[in-house]
Amino acid sequence: MLQEVLIAGFGGQGVLSTGQLLAYAGMIENKQVAWIPSYGPEMRGGTANCGITISDEPISSPLVTEPTTLIVMNRPSLDKFEKSVVPGGLILINSSLVDQKVTRQDLQVLEIPANRIAEELGNTKVANNIILGVLIELTGIVSLEAVVESLKKVLPARRHNLIPVNQQALEKGMQLAKEFKNKQ
Amino acid sequence: MLQEVLIAGFGGQGVLSTGQLLAYAGMIENKQVAWIPSYGPEMRGGTANCGITISDEPISSPLVTEPTTLIVMNRPSLDKFEKSVVPGGLILINSSLVDQKVTRQDLQVLEIPANRIAEELGNTKVANNIILGVLIELTGIVSLEAVVESLKKVLPARRHNLIPVNQQALEKGMQLAKEFKNKQ
Amino acid sequence: MATVTFREERCKGCELCISVCPEKIIVLAEHYNAMGFHPATVVEMDKCKACAICARMCPDVVIEVVKEEKQD
Amino acid sequence: MATVTFREERCKGCELCISVCPEKIIVLAEHYNAMGFHPATVVEMDKCKACAICARMCPDVVIEVVKEEKQD
Amino acid sequence: MSKVLMKGNEAIGEGAIRAGCRHFFGYPITPQSELPHYLAKRMPEVGGVFLQAESETSSINMVYGAAGAGFRTMTSSSSPGLSLMQEGISYLVGAELPCVVVNVMRGGPGLGNIAPAQGDYFQAVKGGGHGDYKLVVLAPASVQEIIDMMQVAFDLADQYRTPVMLVGDGILGQMMEPVELADEVTLPEVPAKPWAASGLKGRKKPNIVNSLYIVPEDCEELNQRLFAKYDVIAAQETRWEEYRLEDAEIVLTGFGTAARIAKSVVDKARSEGIKAGLIRPITLWPFPSEVYAKAAAHANKFLCVEMSMGQMVEDVRLAVNGKKPVHFYGRSGGMVPLAKDVLAEVKKLMAGGE
Amino acid sequence: MSKVLMKGNEAIGEGAIRAGCRHFFGYPITPQSELPHYLAKRMPEVGGVFLQAESETSSINMVYGAAGAGFRTMTSSSSPGLSLMQEGISYLVGAELPCVVVNVMRGGPGLGNIAPAQGDYFQAVKGGGHGDYKLVVLAPASVQEIIDMMQVAFDLADQYRTPVMLVGDGILGQMMEPVELADEVTLPEVPAKPWAASGLKGRKKPNIVNSLYIVPEDCEELNQRLFAKYDVIAAQETRWEEYRLEDAEIVLTGFGTAARIAKSVVDKARSEGIKAGLIRPITLWPFPSEVYAKAAAHANKFLCVEMSMGQMVEDVRLAVNGKKPVHFYGRSGGMVPLAKDVLAEVKKLMAGGE
Amino acid sequence: MAKVIFKRPDSLTDKQFHYCPGCTHGIIHRLVAEVIDEMGLQDDTVGVCPVGCSVFAYDYFNVDMFQASHGRAPAVATGIKRCLPERTVFTYQGDGDLASIGTAEIVHAAARSEKITTIFVNNAVYGMTGGQMAPTTLPGQKTTTSPRGREKELNGLPVRVSEMLATLDGAVYVARVSVHDPKHIVQAKKAIRKAFEIQKAGLGFALVEVLSTCPTNWGLSPKESIKWLAENMIPYYPLGVFKEPAEVK
Amino acid sequence: MAKVIFKRPDSLTDKQFHYCPGCTHGIIHRLVAEVIDEMGLQDDTVGVCPVGCSVFAYDYFNVDMFQASHGRAPAVATGIKRCLPERTVFTYQGDGDLASIGTAEIVHAAARSEKITTIFVNNAVYGMTGGQMAPTTLPGQKTTTSPRGREKELNGLPVRVSEMLATLDGAVYVARVSVHDPKHIVQAKKAIRKAFEIQKAGLGFALVEVLSTCPTNWGLSPKESIKWLAENMIPYYPLGVFKEPAEVK
Ligand SMILES: Cc1ncc(C[n+]2csc(CCOP(=O)(O)OP(=O)(O)O)c2C)c(N)n1
Ligand SMILES: Cc1ncc(C[n+]2csc(CCOP(=O)(O)OP(=O)(O)O)c2C)c(N)n1
Ligand code: SF4
Ligand code: SF4
Ligand code: SF4
Ligand code: SF4
Ligand code: SF4
Ligand code: SF4
Ligand SMILES: [Mg+2]
Ligand SMILES: [Mg+2]
């Protein structure tokens, strides 16, 4: 198994930490993992993205140039990365922030109004984890348990009270994914 | 023929320009010549010396580490360089400035009270050329004519009035050398 | 009559123009531009005094100000 | 009674001591030292006031000044 | 032992702290800035000093001061910053001062870019500064190896009184990977430094930290002493990894990130029936020449993979010394070789193509 | 033509002026300071600018400005100063700016001393700065050759839009030798520089002098463009001297001052019946590899003579590629090989000793 | 008849700035371009921009441009100006660049009285490389390399570049301005214009220090940044003219 | 009873100085050594000397010493002091070294308020390398790289280092003294002592600029040099204390 995920959005949208959460979960499951951010000058207040590789084999290069999954958190990221996804790959779009459509026909695409759903859960900060929930359900890349476990490691102790709402968000995402699969 | 001359004294005693005069004369006689100064930090107000190589063959390294002739213009130079002269080599000492004696027995040594003689000629500045006269007479390294010719090149035009007294000095030196040879 | 034009696709929604407009007639639009920002726009153009203070403050040279001079 | 001692072999004959001695009792010797300089020396030691001005001025720390204090 | 996800740049910092380094001097530059950021936080926690210098030139000279005073110390930068340190590095060598210098390489020449690269190999191993000298150059290929190797770096530096360089690239610096960290840190024992200039404190003869040898004979003696030391280092400290090498017909080679990629290509090639193997120099200097010479007995070809226009390949050629052809595959300017392209190159070579 | 006695350092300056260089930026350092002294006097006489910079770092950046503005320009220093220029040199390469950089080498590493040496060979030919690049490196061996080669240096720089380095040593810089100087100086024609950033002056598109290639693909393209250029330079501009090489059984080699000494040893050896010959690279990069490969056909051994611990010898080995043994004789730290010692080495080798 | 009250100056290309939202680098660029336009110098000017967030300035200024190495723009500008004494040469430098690694270069360009104009953008931080402490970072200010705030004991006190350079006889015009509101923007432009006029008059070295924001690395919104600049930077870095030749007063 | 009025300080070794006849580097060495002796710091002190005529200072000062690269002594001293905060660390630097290539290092050691003492020997010329122009060379002064005398148009105007550094908040003590006669030598020693006292009190960066002669490169006799210093240097480089903390006044 080799999964290469690219998460892209604005700086400040939690793109990097969401990626780290995923990598951490992979590590907990004793997979080979690597995480790497883009670190161009564009980062300054502009777009931010990171690549996560989760694999059974040792990872040669952690650069994610042809993602199996792309998570899109703002419009410029869709413009920029749509073409790089492997044929048959997956794109998850936070449609609360991105009103644009994917043009390629050879991909699986899911639009998730993550901010709106997060608001419903009472905390807009968990939007990313809704999408992450979708991802793990659709791809089986890591288990829910591993992500929840990782939250404990990634969140500072004083934020551990947020773990339940984050877990809720993950589960909500998984549920959406299941509905989607059923629809297909 | 390969002659390697080392001229050593204080900075300001005309050591370097005397060496250049000699090299120039060699060049005029179509010999291979090279001139090189010592350029250590010691130069600053301390000792100065230069090496002149005059040869029929191309000169490989211009460094004069084992001079065939050593010209000594101050006491520290004698201390420093006496031992480097090739066996059978020549040391010329300006005895007006150096009261010390050469200790080695395997050399030809000539003490020339050059400053005193120069004073007699009416110009202390020509002391070096008295010694140079001795050198060319004893070694035949270059001709008097070539040195006189070089003076025209080395002295700036406004100093050309000094050529006669310099020539006198050279001739005086040659005369001393002849007397010395006769004595031997 | 003044016209204040915003090159909307270049606006980064920083709101600096909004904060300096003496007439308080600039707001951020609801929609996103291609860069993903809410662009600034003038709501009541007739109140505009063509003072160009907004344009002078805009770090991204988004704004152009033109004044129709009375033709006597 | 003062004694001004010159480490003659270290003197560079710069004459700075000479120029500052209030008693004008320092001169350069006729002979050369090993470095080839005429070393400084005091000519009339009895005139020396042990002020050490010469020593303070000497760049080469050539001079030492000792004063015989009256024994009461 | 606990397993954590860690960034390469942070691992350099944590590794240094665990090696007993308490004085870091550096200047920001992408893609290594997370190292100063990390140490700005961590150093005060362990009673150490993180000081931002006014430039890389100053960083390396602060290191000169700290190392000469007898302390474990280091600096870090990326390519252009390293160029500015060349005079200082030559001085550190001349004064035989132990220290660690890190280069997280990026695309060049010039300002180039901030993408990962290996174009400073020559600068590191041949001597980018003036004069005759060598640095011990370590090239880890994973975040775990970085952590472990920082200890080695400081130990070698102290043992041989020499600057040690650790080279990575933007990928190694920026990526996070799992690492095993000992929970209990016992600080390593640091050899006594009776030569350090740290104040007399009762000693009679002053210590002097110096690289001026005004008399050529003395300076030649320094050079000979250094090179005698280098001979010992070469004999005792050469490190490399061999992978499926025993029966390899084609030997891939490279260091750091390029070696990771080459290693995955070895597996892919083997799975397609090509007898491929790998030599990964871990010390770039001393270079593991002998293992190449030995491999040349059974291998037909060598392929050196680099993130440069071809630098380490010269050392491979010197090691193979004409016995077998040595080929080169490189990407440069911040581009990273793709495993599939390297594999294609391997196949082409095995098919007899050049 | 007139024959005058001239110092090597002054010859560099006079050669530059005759090559049309009117802008010199430099910083004092022994043993090359007579060059700035000379130009401080001469430049105003020819309407040029001699400017003393605040450091070598600044000198090389002033050169960057002057070269980018389209002017023939140069700087000069000695070993430690060159180390400080490495970042700037890498930028000049990245922006493809023509200029001439002189290194009158001295003993190292560190402050070392001011005696003649050749320990910066690697820095010059392998790239002491960051990133992949080459400099054209010229190595004259006499004052006459210095004068003549300055013209070559500026011409190559302009023709290929590349920095050119001229390396000498303290002996070449300090010695006086006779040189032939043309009485009439006709300034060489300088190729047009439409890329120069010197003000629009009616041009529509601004010119940009730049070495930033933020997109790795672009930076790789720069690298490939540079190396394609280097291939052309290697094919067209490699220069060397051969001396009594045809039937040589032992080939001595070296550059600059070391080559002068080796040459005299060739004669001495021949006079004692040893078939010795000489290869003297005049361009250290591009290195004249082919002539070594050819000589390896008849020669049994090579002996590389350097004023270093052994640097050019690696390029000789790469050129000979294992065909024949390549030996080394060197003095370092400011020491100069004596002809008699080199001859003894030759005899030892010919007697079969190692 | 339509009268254009405000439009993009010709000395800016039409490229969009890459700066973060609300970053005042953009204002300063525009002011420099306006001055070049108004003085009719577009055909005549060579700009030099070293590394820093403004490293891409060569894409924005519609004049011949140099990208220079970190800190060395004054040396590069010196090289240009000594070859082309009739051209107008300016440098555009950040505070990390000019006040840290490039200290020697700016001091000596000023001491030599190079006839160049320097625009010095002081945003109290290293913007491009991720918000590290600059020599101009205020006491107590948190940055990625002063995570507990700049401490006097560890990092000393900020450098006031204008005051320091004004001590040099060769620096003939030195002023500090700010661009945090329209009024100050107008003043800033006047100072920049003066700095170019002094160059054209051949009087010597001129520098304008411009206080600027870095919302991204200050961790503030653009509006908060403007406020922070006014309330924190100006007290430490007083605005004003520190040196002015009689000729242009 | 014999009383020693004046003798060689313990903090000097017995090695003979290599300086030219009449070069006042020797006086300054002695003053530093006397202060170290008198403050009882010999056991405690680390000195740093970069390249310049005083490069061999490590042979003369009888304390632990560093030889540093050209211009970088303040950075080296920083490295030492940050490791050994209790030791006394001083640098001894020439004007070419400190005011030219080492400008950034001295400015930032001062700005950081490193607790070190700098002795800055200003002799208006590069002594060691053969008399080239320094940033401190006076207008009109002939040197090997200003053969027609320093010209304002070409080389700008001399840097007054003390005045410049005094603008930095981190520089707590800055004074300029001279050693051209016994009276000034006494004053110079007082200033040097103060600069060491400030370090011991932990107050921050202290620098003493000492006007010094270079008979060899000025082309004057030692006595003429003294006169030249008094008549030419002091008017351009006024003596005095430019900065002094209240604590030690
Ligand atoms: C020699 C070198 N060192 C470090 C860097 C990394 N670097 C690029 S820009 C910069 C500082 C930018 O800060 P500043 O000059 O204040 O400009 P700003 O981005 O704040 O406008 C640094 C350290 C570099 N490019 N080159
Ligand atoms: C990097 C470097 N550049 C140049 C030199 C040559 N150099 C040695 S000392 C010196 C200047 C000495 O002048 P100063 O600092 O004024 O000291 P002084 O000799 O006058 O006391 C120079 C340029 C060097 N050693 N290293
Ligand atoms: S021109 Fe003046 S009034 Fe009109 S929108 Fe802009 S700021 Fe407001
Ligand atoms: S100031 Fe400019 S960029 Fe900012 S919101 Fe207004 S128009 Fe947009
Ligand atoms: S101690 Fe005073 S009086 Fe005596 S010699 Fe010295 S200066 Fe003259
Ligand atoms: S001052 Fe010192 S060196 Fe000079 S003459 Fe007097 S004793 Fe000699
Ligand atoms: S990082 Fe700061 S200085 Fe750079 S563009 Fe963004 S806001 Fe401006
Ligand atoms: S050259 Fe000048 S500074 Fe150096 S020792 Fe001689 S007189 Fe003193
Ligand atoms: Mg900044
Ligand atoms: Mg000086």
Chain D: closest CA distance from residue H53 (Å): 14
Instruction: Kindly tell me if the per-residue pLDDT of E354 is higher than 60.
Output: no
Region H85-100 average pLDDT = 98
- Given the CA of residue C14, which atom of ligand 4 is nearest to it? 4
The answer to whether H128 contacts B45, with C-beta atoms less than 8 Å apart, is no
Q: Which residues of H145-164 are buried (b: 16+ CB within 10 A; e: fewer)?
A: bbeeebeeebbbbbbbbbbb
Tell me the pLDDT tens digit for each residue of C41-53: 999 999 999 999 9
Tell me the pLDDT tens digit for each residue of B82-108: 999 999 999 999 999 888 899 999 999
Q: How far apart are CA F247 and CA F240, in angstroms?
A: 18
The answer to whether E174 contacts A39, with C-beta atoms less than 8 Å apart, is yes
Residues in B 31-60 with any Cβ partner in H closer than 8 A: 41-42, 44-46
Question: Would you state the pLDDT for residue E171?
Answer: 97
The class that CATH gives domain G25-147+157-243 is alpha beta
Residues of A in contact with E4 (CB under 8 A): 153
Tell me the pLDDT tens digit for each residue of G116-144: 999 999 999 999 999 999 999 999 999 99
Q: In the CATH scheme, what is the homologous superfamily, with its name and number, of domain B2-183?
A: Pyruvate-ferredoxin oxidoreductase, PFOR, domain III (3.40.920.10)
Region G28-47 average pLDDT = 98
C46 within domain boundaries: yes
Q: Which ligand is in closest contact with the Cα of D25?
A: 5
Mutate to test the interface with F, among G84, G93, G103 (most CBs of F within 10 A): G84
Q: Give residues (CB < 6 A) around ligand 7.
A: A 44-45; G 19-20, 23, 25, 53, 123, 127-128, 214-217
- Given the CA of residue E55, which atom of ligand 1 is nearest to it? 3
What chain F holds in terms of domains, given with CATH numbers, is 2-236 (3.40.50.970), 242-350 (3.40.50.920)
Considering only alpha carbons, which residue of chain F is nearest residue E111? F212
Question: Would you state the pLDDT for residue D68?
Answer: 84
- Compare CB distances from F61 to G63, G69, G84 and report the shortest one's residue: G69
Secondary structure letter of residue F207 according to DSSP: P
Alpha-carbon dihedral sign for residues G40, G45, G48, G49: positive
The parent domain of residue C20 ranges over 2-67
Q: Percent of chain E scored above 70 by pLDDT?
A: 99
Question: For residue A41, what pLDDT band results from cuts at 50, 70 and 90?
Answer: low
Tokens of F150: 């300055």
Region G10-27 average pLDDT = 97
Tell me the pLDDT tens digit for each residue of H121-150: 999 999 999 999 999 999 999 999 999 999
Tokens of B156: 């700036």
F–H CB contacts, 8 A cutoff, strictly below: 53
Q: Single out the residue of E124, E182, E187, E188 nearest to residue E155, CA to CA.
A: E188
Mutate to test the interface with H, among F23, F50, F54, F174 (most CBs of H within 10 A): F54
Q: Which ligand is in closest contact with the Cα of E88?
A: 2
Chain E: closest CA distance from residue H62 (Å): 6
- Taking residue F170's Cβ as centre, other Cβ atoms within 10 Å add up to 31
Q: Which phi and psi angles does G55 have, rounded to 5°? A: -60, -25
Q: Which ligand is in closest contact with the Cα of H124?
A: 10
The answer to whether H20 contacts B46, with C-beta atoms less than 8 Å apart, is yes
- Taking residue E347's Cβ as centre, other Cβ atoms within 10 Å add up to 14
Mutate to test the interface with A, among G16, G213, G216, G221 (most CBs of A within 10 A): G216
Mutate to test the interface with A, among E7, E9, E171, E176 (most CBs of A within 10 A): E176
DSSP annotation string for B37-105: E---GGGTTSEEEEEEEEESSPPS----SS-SEEEE-SHHHHHHHGGGSPTT-EEEEETTT-------S
Q: Give residues (CB < 6 A) around ligand 1.
A: E 27-29, 56, 80-81, 84; G 51-54, 70, 94-97, 121, 123, 125-129, 134
Instruction: Kindly tell me if the per-residue pLDDT of A44 is higher than 60.
Output: no
Chain D: closest CA distance from residue B149 (Å): 33
Atom 4 in ligand 1: residue holding the nearest Cα: E29
ipTM of the complex: 0.97
Tell me the pLDDT tens digit for each residue of B21-61: 999 999 999 999 999 999 876 545 567 899 999 999 999 99
Residues of E in contact with A29 (CB under 8 A): none
The answer to whether H157 contacts G163, with C-beta atoms less than 8 Å apart, is no
Q: Which ligand is in closest contact with the Cα of G18?
A: 7
Number of domains in chain C: 1
E332 CA to centre of ligand 7 in angstroms: 29
Residues in G 94-133 with any Cβ partner in A closer than 8 A: 127-128, 130
Question: For residue G2, what pLDDT band results from cuts at 50, 70 and 90?
Answer: confident
D35 within domain boundaries: yes
The answer to whether G126 contacts E28, with C-beta atoms less than 8 Å apart, is yes
Tell me the pLDDT tens digit for each residue of D1-50: 789 999 999 999 999 999 999 999 999 999 988 888 899 999 999 999 99
Q: Do chains F and B touch (3 or more CB pairs under 8 A)?
A: yes
Give chain H's length.
249
Q: Neighbouring chains of E at 3+ CB pairs within 8 Å?
A: A, F, G, H
Average pLDDT, chain B: 92
Chain D: closest CA distance from residue B170 (Å): 26
D72 within domain boundaries: no
Q: How far apart are CA B115 and CA B98, in angstroms?
A: 11
Q: Single out the residue of B41, F114, C72, G241 nearest to residue E131, CA to CA.
A: F114
Q: Single out the residue of F272, F281, F277 nearest to residue F344, CA to CA.
A: F272
Tell me the pLDDT tens digit for each residue of G193-243: 999 999 999 999 999 999 999 999 999 999 999 999 999 999 999 999 999
Q: Do residues A173 and A137 touch, judged by C-beta distance below 8 A?
A: yes
Enter the pTM of the model.
0.98
Tokens of H127: 């002594």
Tell me if chain B has a CB within 8 Å of the CB of F76: no
Q: Percent of chain G scored above 70 by pLDDT?
A: 100
Q: How far apart are CA G137 and CA G147, in angstroms?
A: 12
Question: Would you state the pLDDT for residue G109?
Answer: 98
C60 within domain boundaries: yes
User: Rounded to whole angstroms, what are the CA distances from F242 to F248, F295, F306?
Assistant: 11, 10, 17
Which residues make up the environment of ion ligand 9, defined by Cβ < 5 Å? G 94-96, 123, 127
Instruction: Kindly tell me if the per-residue pLDDT of A26 is higher than 70.
Output: yes
Identify the H or E element spanning D27: strand D26-28
G216 CA to centre of ligand 8 in angstroms: 53
Region H4-12 average pLDDT = 97
Question: For residue D72, what pLDDT band results from cuts at 50, 70 and 90?
Answer: low
Question: For residue G10, what pLDDT band results from cuts at 50, 70 and 90?
Answer: very high
- Listed by start position, the domains of chain H span 25-147+157-243
- Compare CB distances from F30 to B35, B36, B39 and report the shortest one's residue: B39
* CATH code of the domain containing C39: 3.30.70.20
Q: Single out the residue of E135, E18, E20 nearest to residue E72, CA to CA.
A: E20
Instruction: Kindly tell me if the per-residue pLDDT of H208 is higher than 90.
Output: yes
Instruction: Kindly tell me if the per-residue pLDDT of E255 is higher than 50.
Output: yes
Instruction: Kindly tell me if the per-residue pLDDT of C72 is higher than 60.
Output: no
Question: Would you state the pLDDT for residue A43?
Answer: 44
Residues of A in contact with G225 (CB under 8 A): none
C63 CB near ligand 4 (under 6 Å): yes
Question: Would you state the pLDDT for residue A75?
Answer: 87
Region A150-173 average pLDDT = 93
Question: Would you state the pLDDT for residue G62?
Answer: 98
- CB burial class (10 A; 0-12, 13-18, 19+) of residue H86? exposed
Q: How far apart are CA H41 and CA H196, in angstroms?
A: 10
Region B142-162 average pLDDT = 93
- Given the CA of residue C18, which atom of ligand 4 is nearest to it? 6
- Given the CA of residue G123, which atom of ligand 7 is nearest to it? 3
The answer to whether A39 contacts E30, with C-beta atoms less than 8 Å apart, is yes
Q: Give residues (CB < 6 A) around ligand 3.
A: C 4, 21-23, 25-26, 42, 48-54, 65
DSSP annotation string for A52-121: EEEESSPPS----SS-SEEEE-SHHHHHHHGGGSPTT-EEEEETTT-------SSSEEEEE-HHHHHHHH
User: Rounded to whole angstroms, what are the CA distances from E300 to E248, E252, E317, E322, F319?
Assistant: 9, 11, 14, 12, 21
Tell me the pLDDT tens digit for each residue of H169-196: 999 999 999 999 999 999 999 999 999 9
Region G164-193 average pLDDT = 98
Question: Would you state the pLDDT for residue A99?
Answer: 84
Question: Would you state the pLDDT for residue E265?
Answer: 97
pLDDT tens across the length of chain F (354 residues): 899 999 999 999 999 999 999 999 999 999 999 999 999 999 999 999 999 999 999 999 999 999 999 999 999 999 999 999 999 999 999 999 999 999 999 999 999 999 999 999 999 999 899 999 999 999 999 999 999 999 999 999 999 999 999 999 999 999 999 999 999 889 999 999 999 999 999 999 999 999 999 999 999 999 999 999 999 999 999 999 999 999 999 999 999 999 999 999 999 999 999 999 999 999 999 999 999 999 999 999 999 999 999 999 999 999 999 999 999 999 999 999 999 999 999 999 999 855
- Listed by start position, the domains of chain A span 2-183
The answer to whether A45 contacts G128, with C-beta atoms less than 8 Å apart, is no
